[in-house]
Amino acid sequence: MSVWPAWEVREDGGTTSWFHVRLAFTDGARIDVLAVVSGGCLSLEDVRARPALPLDDLPVLAEWIEGPLSEACGAAPEAGEAGARNRARPAWPGGIEGRWLVAREYRAAQEGGVDPVLAVMCATGHGRRRSLRLIAQARDAGFLAPGHARR
């Protein structure tokens, strides 16, 4: 696997960086990714694979590139997690305050017309499953309307 910077934009005190990531396998298969890092959030702009990559494998792809991409961005590995994923998470409060903040992020994303789950993922630094759990906890605490009518 190789990771190299493509370009970087600095604006309003923040930085948005694009990186090329290439995974080459011994059988000749190859995956090229254009990843964007901005405000502590990572998104994949473009994924090209030969042979084609099934959609079910995208979460695995994210896990494969996460560590090398974090190193390329200058994020230090977390102490005490040898061999685990390297993930720099922003400090996020727990308990009722954390649930309220999750609800606030969720509602702001809805009002802005963007994916609310992705907004919570970016804000908390957690993956999709953990973010969905946090959203459910915010609903249970009464900070968000029920997601669907129960029968």
Q: Is residue 82 part of a domain?
A: no
Q: Give how far Cα 107 sits from Cα of 27, 47, 90, 113, 141, Å.
A: 46, 30, 20, 10, 15
Is 30 in a helix, a strand, or coil? strand
Q: What is the pLDDT of residues 24-67, one digit of tens each?
A: 878 888 889 888 887 777 778 888 988 888 887 777 787 778 77
20 assigned to some structural domain:
yes
pLDDT digits (tens, 9 = 90+) for 86-120: 444 456 778 888 899 999 989 988 888 888 888 88
The parent domain of residue 122 ranges over 95-140
49 & 103 share domain: no
Does 61 share its domain with 107? no
